[in-house]
Amino acid sequence: MDLIKNPIVLAAAAGLLVALVVQLNAWSNQRSLKEEIERLKKHLHDKMAIDEKGNAAIIGENSKLTEQVNKLKTTLEVLSHKPSKSELRSLVVLEEGIHLMSLNVPGFTAHWEAFKIQADAKLEKIMLGEMIWPRHFIRKTLGRLGIGHNDVSLSVPQVTSNFEVLEDAKSPR
């Protein structure tokens, strides 16, 4: 009992009690800090996952727009090319031939209008950059049709109302 009343023992006991309270408080703070760190890690992980999806979408859109810009550059390059006189002449011959076909061949006009609509849709896609304008479009098309040489007239057969083809009908110039 004398030991309990000794001031040194009382001071030591009080010091131990304070140390125990401080240690319990530190353990409590450490546990709450660990929980806070885990919560922040989870939040950071979620935020990074969301940002990754957003970045992937932006990268995908960027690549699409880059491709579209490249297609538009190519189209601009092709469209800025001035046609030669022979190319313009060939286009006039084609236009005259189409005009004669629409006048003389039954059923041609309906098909021609449908094909014009398809061609217009394709040209619209080219102008929006969804497709590339072929570099040698005119030469390839005219070469495939056999037009663009030194021929002056276009030979088009005329069809009568009885669907008989008249021989050697020349287009008027």
> What per-residue confidence (pLDDT) applies to 66?
94
Residue 132's CB: how many other CB atoms inside 10 A?
16
> What per-residue confidence (pLDDT) applies to 60?
94
Please give the average per-residue pLDDT across 135-152, as a whole number: 49
| 165, pLDDT greater than 50 | no
CA atoms within 13 Å, Cβ hemisphere of 166: 12
Please give the average per-residue pLDDT across 8-27, as a whole number: 94
